[in-house]
Amino acid sequence: MDIRYSVNQRDFKRYTTDEIRDEFLITDLFKADEVTAVYSHVDRMVTLGCMPVNEMVSIDKGIDCWKNFGTHYFLERREIGIFNIGEPGVITADGAEYKMGHEDCLYITMGTKEVTFASDDAAHPAKFYMVSAPAHKPCKTTFISIQDANKRPMGDLKTSNARTINQFIHPDVLETCQLSMGLTRLEEGSVWNTMPAHTHERRMEVYFYFDIPEDNVVFHMMGEGKETRHIVMQNEEAVISPSWSIHSGCGTSNYTFIWAMGGENKAFDDMDNIPTAELR
Ligand SMILES: O=C[C@H](O)[C@@H](O)CC(=O)C(=O)O
Ligand SMILES: [Zn+2]
């Protein structure tokens, strides 16, 4: 498993492009019949991807749970949120089957021993994008479709940031230990997400960008508001955002992204907003 340690904001100022990418960027999430997993020491969040094609793939495929987590199975002391960003597939969680269409989400509780992924059609595979956080108690495994998500329209086409924040794993929708997740879609002609920018010292975040059309990219902004850097993101890549970092992006076209947060609280609006004119 790929393990990333924590970086502080002072050292970060001196990082080269390659160093920024090595620390924060997550690529190759969807290798056929494999599980890609990146363990971050920032709030111990694990970001995973799985594209089952010919096999039913177990969540711990290629992961040594005892060595990496000191547990007998992946979700023994963790919770997880999973989105299918591909074609239809099935997730099985301790015998219960969940049919996962495009952009459906499943929250799976701590204590679930067996989790597997399969695609309905090998020629049109499902793509499961997931983020897992340490958990301290069982909650209810819950299927959440986009209709069930809390909708928060934001921004304006005039400022190129008209978008809808869909809060899937959110206290208004279901209970979790610390995980929050959702999907934000930009409208055609809108390219800026999360502007005005913010940080939240109480939570870290992982952004996963997708639906970026071919030959387009998203410039993901990072760093303290007064000392920004960027990472150029290709389609279906994720980026780790420590608590001290802004997380905002500008695309060469519109796109969609999934955000995941964990840390001290689950108060979505607990943000430290940065006036745009103060960014550097
Ligand atoms: O803390 C909240 C997260 O950064 C995202 O939900 C922000 C977002 O989707 C947006 O403004 O476009
Ligand atoms: Zn945020």
Q: What is the pLDDT of residue 237?
A: 99
End-to-end CA distance of the chain: 35
Which pair of tokens denotes residue 34?
Answer: 């494999």
Residue 247 known to bind ligand: yes
Residue 81 lies in a domain: yes
Q: In the structure, what pLDDT confidence band is assigned to residue 10 with cuts at 50, 70 and 90? A: very high
CA-261 nearest atom, ligand 1: 1
Q: What is the pLDDT of residue 69?
A: 97
Q: What is the pLDDT of residue 154?
A: 97
When pLDDT is averaged across residues 67-90 and rounded to a whole number, the result is 98
Ligand 1, atom 1: closest residue by C-alpha: 268
Q: In the structure, what pLDDT confidence band is assigned to residue 162 with cuts at 50, 70 and 90? A: very high
Which pair of tokens denotes residue 221?
Answer: 């902004």
Residue 2 lies in a domain: no
CA-186 nearest atom, ligand 1: 12
Centre of ligand 1 from the C-alpha of residue 245, in Å: 13
What is the layout of strands, in order, in the sheet containing 105-108?
2-4, 35-40, 46-50, 128-134, 78-84, 105-108, 142-144
Q: What is the pLDDT of residue 42?
A: 97
**Alpha-carbon span 5 to 173, nearest angstrom:** 32
Please provide the average confidence, as pLDDT, over all residues in the chain: 98
Residue 1 lies in a domain: no
Task: Give the number of whichever ligand sits closest to the CA of residue 184.
Answer: 1
Q: What is the pLDDT of residue 166?
A: 98
Residue 252 lies in a domain: yes
Centre of ligand 2 from the C-alpha of residue 157, in Å: 21
Domain count, the chain: 1
Q: In the structure, what pLDDT confidence band is assigned to residue 190 with cuts at 50, 70 and 90? A: very high
Domain of 204: which CATH number?
Answer: 2.60.120.10
Centre of ligand 2 from the C-alpha of residue 168, in Å: 15
Q: What is the pLDDT of residue 31?
A: 98
Residue 205 known to bind ligand: yes
Angular region, 9: left φ>0, alpha ψ -120 to 50, beta rest: alpha
Let me know: does 91 contact 112? Beta carbons within 8 Å.
no
Of 263, 266, 215, 220, nearest in space to 239 by CA: 220
- Pocket probe mutation, ligand 1, options 83, 165, 204, 272, max atoms within 8 Å of Cβ: 165
Ligand 1, atom 3: closest residue by C-alpha: 259
Residue 228 lies in a domain: yes
Q: Which tens digits make up the pLDDT trace of 145-159?
A: 999 999 999 999 999
Alpha helices in the chain (DSSP H): 9-12, 17-24, 65-69
> Exposed, middle or buried, 190 (CB in 10 Å: 0-12/13-18/19+)?
buried
Centre of ligand 1 from the C-alpha of residue 225, in Å: 16
Boundaries of domain holding 13: 7-278
Residue 240 lies in a domain: yes
Q: Beta partners for 205?
A: 241, 261
pTM beyond 0.90, yes or no: yes
163 lines ligand 1 (CB under 6 A): yes
Q: In the structure, what pLDDT confidence band is assigned to residue 263 with cuts at 50, 70 and 90? A: very high
247 lines ligand 1 (CB under 6 A): yes
193 lines ligand 1 (CB under 6 A): yes
Q: Which tens digits make up the pLDDT trace of 40-55?
A: 999 999 999 999 999 9
Angular region, 95: left φ>0, alpha ψ -120 to 50, beta rest: left
